[in-house]
Amino acid sequence: MPEIIIEQSAQSPHLVLRDGFVETPLPALWLRARSPDPSQRDQVTGQRLVNPHRMPEDLELTEARLEPVRTDAGPQRLHLSFSDGFSGWFDTQELIDGTVLSEDCPPPVPWQADPGPQPVYQWNDLAEDKVLFRALHDFITLGFVLVHGTPTQPDSILTIARCFGFVRDTN
């Protein structure tokens, strides 16, 4: 079972993911970008509100401590402080889950000069879960789907987009 270990050094603490005999360092920037704090992440969508590319390249942990969520042996939460002044609580299991590269999504299929049959769907048919699942699978693997018979009223594109995922207002 993977676990997060805090290693103290003379300069600053470091976090390591230990999975059996394999230890993987967890960089401060990677940790900071995964903060669930409401000032850092939209509480509805989970989308980051802070651009990690704007964080200092030399970002370091300044403090790290683990605390049990309950008094019995169970999940732990992690309090981290960073050199840019931010500090917050992290769920250790969410961090561990974030180290897994596979999201169980089907692999993308590269486009060919002759793409073959196109993924075409009728808007009304997407109301059936089975059809919507096939359309989402095609969208993930091919990067597009064609949907005929869609609504044509102003802003109806938002209704269509919500069928495929959360829509967030941006500028």
How do residues 19-32 score in pLDDT, each as one tens digit? Answer: 989 999 999 999 99
Beta-sheet pairing, 120-122 with 87-91: unpaired
Does 69 score more than 90 pLDDT?
Answer: no
Does 117 score more than 90 pLDDT?
Answer: no
Quick one: 107 exposed, middle or buried, by C-beta within 10 A (0-12, 13-18, 19+)? exposed
Distance separating alpha carbons of residues 7 and 20, to the nearest angstrom: 17
The set of residues, in sequence order, having a beta carbon less than 8 Å from that of 132 and lying 6+ positions away, is 126, 163
Quick one: 66 exposed, middle or buried, by C-beta within 10 A (0-12, 13-18, 19+)? middle
Of the chain, the end-to-end C-alpha distance in Å amounts to 43
Which carries the bigger pLDDT value, residue 171 or residue 43?
43
Strand partners, 16: 5, 25
| Cβ pair 35, 88 in contact under 8 A | yes
Question: If you ran DSSP here, which 8-state letter would residue 32 be given?
Answer: H
Return the pLDDT at 74.
57
pTM for the whole structure: 0.61
Share of the chain above pLDDT 90, in %: 56
What domains lie within the chain, and their CATH numbers?
A: 3-98 (3.30.2020.30), 120-164 (no CATH)
